[in-house]
Amino acid sequence: MVLRILPMLIVRTFLQIRALQKTWQQKGLSVGFVPTMGCLHEGHLSIIRQSRAETDITVCSIFVNPKQFNDPEDFKKYPRTTSQDIVLLSGEGCQVLYLPEVDDVYPPHLNTTLAYTPGVLAETLEGRFRPGHFQGMAEVVKRLLDIVQPHRLFMGQKDFQQFLIVKDMIAWYKLPVQIIQSPTVREESGLAMSSRNVRLTPEWKHNAPAIYAALTQGKDRLLQGVHPREVEETVIGQLTDAGFRVEYATVVSPDTLQPLDRITASSSALFCVAAWAGNIRLIDNIVW
Ligand code: AMP
C-alpha cells in the first residue's frame, strides 16, 4: 500500500483560511479546530490526534493572544518554539496551521469587541486573579471561530473554566460548532503538561507534581465525606508547606463553578488549584 502523506499547509492570513474553507465546504469535509498558543507538548498533540480521528480536516492555530494576558511580563516571557511546533504538528498529520500576526486576528478597521460577556462564570477561580483574562480569551476564540468556521472545536480539560466559558459563548451566539473536551495529559510524575513547565527550575520541576498529588488525596477525602472547606484548607496547607504560593484550592460545581458544600457518592465535582511555583503560575484540576 502506498501511503500518501500530504504536507501541512501553513497559512498566515484569514483570507487564506476562508479560501480553504470554501473548498472544504464544496467537498463536504468536516473541520476540527484546535486553538493553541504554541510551545506544543503532548497535551496539545493528544487533542490534535482526537481531531484527526473525528474530522476530515484538522486546523491548528498558534497565536499568543496579547489580549488575554493580564500581566505584560507573562506575555513577554511566554515560550515561543514555532519551528519545533511545526515539526510536531506535521508529524501528527495536522493539515493546516494558522499562524497569524496580531493584525490578522485583530485588523485595525475591525471591531472585535464582543457583545457576549462571560458574567458569573468568569468571576470565580481564575477570574478573581486574572482580571480581563476571560474577556480577552473569549474575544480571540470568537474571532478564530469566525475565521475557521469548524464543525468541531477541541479544548482541554486542564483549562476547565476556559472550556466552560467558550461553551457558554457558543450557546449564546448559537454558533454551529460542537465543543469537545479533551482529558488532561500529565507527565509520569502527575504534573499536568503545560507550555509554562519549560520555565520551571529543576527544583520546581521536582516539587510541582505535589499539586496533582494533593488534588487526588483531596478527592479521596471528599468522597469519604470530609467537608469541602476542610479539604481545601488541607490542600492549601500541604502546598504552602511545599513552598508554593497558593492562590486558590476550591471545590466547585463543574456546571456553575460555584463552591460546593457537600459531596455525595453520586455528585459530580471539580477541584481546582492555582499556585505559584517560584515565579511560574500553575493551574490544575480534577473532575468527577
Ligand atoms: P494553550 O496553548 O495553553 O492555550 O492550550 C491550548 C489548548 O490545549 C487548550 O484547549 C488547553 O486546555 C489544552 N491543553 C493545555 N495543556 C493540556 C494538557 N496538559 N492536557 C490536555 N490539554 C491541554
Q: Distance (Å, rounded) from C-alpha 48 to C-alpha 144? A: 17
**What number of CA atoms fall less than 13 Å from residue 38's CA on the CB side?**
20
Residue nearest atom 17 of ligand 1, based on CA coordinates: 43
- Which atom of ligand 1 sits closest to the CA of residue 44? 8
Place of cell 463553578: 257
Which pLDDT score, from 0 to 100, does residue 70 have? Answer: 86
Q: Measured from the CB, is residue 195 less than 6 Å from ligand 1?
A: yes
214: Cα separation from own chain's centroid? 21
Query: Rounded distance, CA 10 to CA 6, Å?
Result: 12
Residue 153: which of 15, 30, 43 has the closest Cα? 30
CA-nearest residue, atom 13 of ligand 1: 156
From the CA of 35, how far away is ligand 1's center (Å)? Answer: 9
Taken in order 54, 160, 94, 147, is the CA torsion positive or negative? Answer: positive
How does pLDDT run across 170-226, given as a tens digit for each residue?
999 999 999 999 999 999 999 999 999 999 999 999 999 999 999 999 999 999 999
The SS3 call for residue 191 is coil
Residues labelled catalytic? 44
In this predicted structure, what is the pLDDT of residue 208?
A: 95
Beta carbons of 246 and 239 less than 8 angstroms apart: yes
Kindly give the distance from the C-alpha atom of residue 44 to the centroid of ligand 1, in angstroms, as a whole number. 6
pLDDT at 249 over 80: yes
Average pLDDT over residues 55-82: 94
Q: Which of 86, 24, 35 is nearest to 60 (CA)?
A: 35
CA torsion through residues 57, 170, 17, 65, sign? negative
Yes or no: say if 163 and 156 are a contact pair by the CB < 8 Å rule: yes
Strand partners, 36: 62
> What separation in Å is there between the alpha carbon of 25 and the centre of ligand 1?
28
Q: Which helix (H) or strand (E) holds 154?
A: strand 152-156
Sheet holding 280-287, edge to edge: 245-252, 270-277, 280-287
Per residue in 116-165, pLDDT (tens digit) is 999 999 999 999 999 999 999 999 999 999 999 999 999 999 999 999 99
| Residue 147 phi, psi dihedral angles, 5° rounding | -75, -50
pLDDT level of residue 1 (50, 70, 90 thresholds): low
- Rounded Cα distance between 78 and 73, Å, is 8
Task: Report residue 132 CA to chain centroid gap.
Answer: 16
Q: How many helices (H) and strands (E) does the chain have?
A: 11, 9
CA-proximal residue: ligand 1, atom 6 (nearest): 36
By C-alpha distance, which of 156, 35, 186, 139 is closest to 96? 35
Percent of the chain whose pLDDT exceeds 70:
98
Does the beta carbon of 192 sit less than 6 angstroms from any atom of ligand 1? yes
